Structure 1
């Protein structure tokens, strides 16, 4: 198989396995998604979904959140880890959204990445899942699988994103990145597959 043939097979098989791709993080609008994605750094989606109901009951808009003491935010999100940094970022970005963006989450990569606690991956998730803008957020699952499937050298997530965007059609990015994550969690985990065990690894690495 050439690299493109592997990529095409992966798209076909993942579409068969995951025709539907529900967004893993519970949210009601772009703002609550932004906060949830920020909380998911070095934390599982399951844990974030356990924490955010209490947080959003306290405040679910930038206007409300900026009025909440950082200590109160931190007390709720502590199970997500890195709570001092994340709570301050949530407070600060909420204030910036109100003061600079009319209380709305901007539909712009540069504006999102300028917010406290928001890196390129977080911005990409929000652009893709909240606004439907083509993006290819690369998390640890995608980075690991892209290397296992010999789609890229796997030196870093920036390189992985660049290679994936070249190999996969732009209109598939938003759905495909979730399909790869689902597959990585279910079939090709870091310890559960060595690149020779799961169905896709077996197929793309044997031809």
Structure 2
């Protein structure tokens, strides 16, 4: 008498390589789409994105059923990266290092973005909870400034709104997607950060009064 229990068929899990390939395809599509949207605006055809990502159009639509879904995912990744920069800087035990890294990295993101965020918010104002993310960025930047000043290395007359000047300066020289443009942005930001350090403060030449800039626009400027 055969007492062995009948075996039920179990669903086969995807092989690890297949799952890895799917992840690689998704990330490549998002990277290509981000660059394409930044360079050419949101009207880039899906077929062009698939071609640049070296995937079939059918594969692209399996990952992102509509173009709106792809655009929204690109923007969500961009904002998530921004908030991650803030969180990592706040976790840095060195207040000046955290402040410096946050500003430098955000300006690099801004140079790469070339207007993607502004275009997205114009086309899809309700697609992502931008206000909550923006508030997180603003509060984080204010805390980074406070910590660096309490540590004694960020000049005491520096205002949080002065960060807008940094982002505007970085954006002003990042006029294209070339490496030369990004290098110019990095150099300008490095000059500015150097001037913010207390080692560079001239007690006999105070700064002019702060510009009446709205800190509420900081998060927009970061990736504008």
- TM superposition score normalised by structure 2: 0.26
- TM superposition score normalised by structure 1: 0.27
Larger Rg: 2
